[in-house]
Structure 1
């Protein structure tokens, strides 16, 4: 059956009218969902490990921060975070290093103006400081990537068998361009990360007079350090570099290497003070996240505190002091908190001052 154009037009109008009437009877569609506002995080404290629970039992590096700064709220739905992220009502966030990447990559958080305090306990060079002391790092030096020969098989004029990849002897920077990979020079190899010098100096000036608790046990241990005046001092605050290496090392020969290694990669500007197993990883992660625009590496602080010396006292066998962190471990946890918390509280209390101007730097000039 053929349908005239007039009939077809009338039918179309009837269908359109029915559709409009039906649409009017239904509730309107909701507007498109708007993305939730990102949370601007002001300050984060990062520890490396915790013994057991975050509170109420034997403390690790994290527990004093959780308990004393009331990090009572746990954000448990950060994808990939094994322990969860904590925060308090003042805007301080806390986490363990293993959850750092999950936190940074969570799209809910805006970390572009966030300040970071990386804390932790370390071995300390007794030539420079005592157990319980706290050092703000100007440099974090990587002690992992290197060449190693058995010290019994090295040339007679070598101090040890550890030297840079691309170099031909100890205490020399790489000279072989093939060892640089995509880097333009040895300075771009990721072996030394310089912290913001102005921010670090500001943190040190703010905390240099902090009194770190001393104990009779620590004082008794210090008596063994005859000929090491800095190791005999009560705990104190200083500026000094941290060397991170995944392999555990100990003893005077390797302390000598650490002193040289830090001088080498900082062109003589740094002084080895603290040794640990995590700082190089944290510095590398923050450097990479900075290049991707997630964080501002100029807002990063590293504070390490001494739980044990990097070598034994004079006349003591190194094997007798491997992992000997009692009573220094608890002292180092306490020093981490006592020295770090004034910086955190200052930044949070005066966020209007520090949101756009990093402490220690010249304030931005107002535009006309």
Structure 2
């Protein structure tokens, strides 16, 4: 969906401009309505800290409806860039994003959103500290589930205890869905963000990270951090290991008709994208202006030497690379932010230069167009 100044959204913001922000936060004199060019979205404190350190955000706007832990939105001096922390998990993310989008304090109709968080990484495609930019976000936990002990004797060919709604095995596309299972993002804008991120030197992490990378067989895992085009999975369940990794990788491929290449994990992205889809449908944001970036803090699978000891490996803090992942959030994301600011009038204002050439949106084609994934119809759940 491309925004064209819908009358409804204009009326909304004309009415909103009558509500001074000072009624919510009286520390400074703010514009009647804040219209950021870029909004950086983090999910928890340690993702936000590198951004707050990298940029000067003197303005803090207390905004009703945000997470009780993170009630303030931070903006730079010109209010051209703002940062929000949603709180962790799908419920917090959807609640905070919806509250932001419906706030009369902000006009987000032309804003670019950079979802900037850390996640686990598949060693086939990433290493600790790598930076991933997604075209697809797939929600993997909306399925039936049974414990290992209760399927291994009756369904011996199953590789996990998950299977889709309305079907009877793990290899059949779900008969009914909730609509949040798959989102496709603007590939042109994603590619521009990747192109910009590839111009910077990434933080390579610690000496221990270097040692841990060499425990893996895959070239990507053993290499230094890089910028990667690949796709993200969302699950409130923090899964790890080869069994679930293999299953969810196959599930993501099935849900996108073989198109998605899963490489990173998240707990919030599909929730944030659902909120942005609804807001875009209402003319309050532009879904074509959303970028999802995840830096890799840890591997999703143990190295071969620890394959029979996954729990202990996962619980060992020496196995991760969080410091590089946090550091690389602004390192890799800042070039996109600066590009938007520096080329606002000539490139980004209209959105035409990096307008999507692919389908964007959800399974239900809420924003129009025809998705190249999903089915023509679904049963009612």
Same fold (TM over 0.5): yes
Asked whether 1:40 is paired with 2:35, we answer yes
1:264-315 C-alpha deviation (Å, 9 max, x unpaired) = 1111111111112111211211112222222111100000011001111112
Q: Is 1:320 aligned to residue 306 of structure 2? A: no
Q: What is the CA RMSD across the aligned residues, in angstroms?
A: 2.0
TM-score normalised per structure 2: 0.77
Deviation of 1:96 after TM superposition, in Å, equals 0.6
Question: Take 1:247 and 1:362, find their aligned partners in 2: how far apart are those partners?
Answer: 32
Structure 2 residue 100 is the aligned partner of structure 1 residue 103:
yes
Pairing 1:337-348 to 2, within 5 Å after superposition? 337-348=330-341
2:283 is aligned with 1:293: yes
1:1-368 aligned at under 5 Å gives the runs: 35=18, 38-50=33-45, 60-76=46-62, 78-81=63-66, 82=68, 83-90=71-78, 91-98=80-87, 99-152=96-149, 153-154=151-152, 155-175=155-175, 179-180=176-177, 189-214=179-204, 215-225=206-216, 227-316=217-306, 317-326=309-318, 328-352=321-345, 353-361=347-355
CA displacement, residues 93-128 of structure 1 (integer Å, 9 cap, x when unaligned): 001124333222111211111100001110111122
Is the Cα–Cα contact under 8 Å of residues 201 and 360 in structure 1 kept in the other structure? Answer: no
- Tell me how far 1:262 sits from its aligned partner: 1.3
Q: Name the structure 2 match of 1:12.
A: none
Contact 1:139 1:242 in 2 (8 A): yes
Mapped to 2, the partners of 1:289 and 1:273 lie a distance apart of 28
Corresponding residue SS for 1:341? helix
**CA shift in 2, pair 1:140/1:325, >3 Å:** farther
Q: Residues 162-191 of structure 1, C-alpha deviation per residue, up to 9 Å, x if partnerless?
A: 12112221132123xxx357xxxxxxx221
Note the C-alpha offset of 1:322.
2.3
Contact 1:65-1:337 within 8 A present in 2 as well: yes
- Higher-Rg structure is 1
Q: Deviations over 1:113-167 (max 9, x none)?
A: 1100001110111122111101001111112210112234142222222121122
State the SS of the aligned residue for 1:110: coil
Instruction: Look up the SS of the partner of 2:57 in the other structure.
Output: coil
Q: Distance in 2 between matches of 1:362 and 1:241?
A: 17
User: Could you say what secondary structure the match of 1:63 adopts?
Assistant: helix
Q: Structure 1, unaligned stretches of length 5 or more? A: 1-33, 51-59, 182-188, 364-368
Is residue 125–residue 228 contact of structure 2 (8 Å, CA) maintained in 1?
Answer: no
C-alpha distance in 2 between matches for 1:290 and 1:89: 27
| Paired residue total | 309
Q: How far has the Cα of 1:323 moved from its partner?
A: 4.5
Equivalent residue of 2:294, what SS?
strand
SS at match of 2:222: coil
Structure-1 separation of matches of 2:144 and 2:356: 42
Q: 1:254, CA displacement in angstroms? A: 0.8
Distance 2:82 2:292 in 1: 16
Does the CA-based 8 Å contact 1:199-1:358 persist in structure 2? Answer: no
Which deviates more, 86-95 or 316-325? 316-325
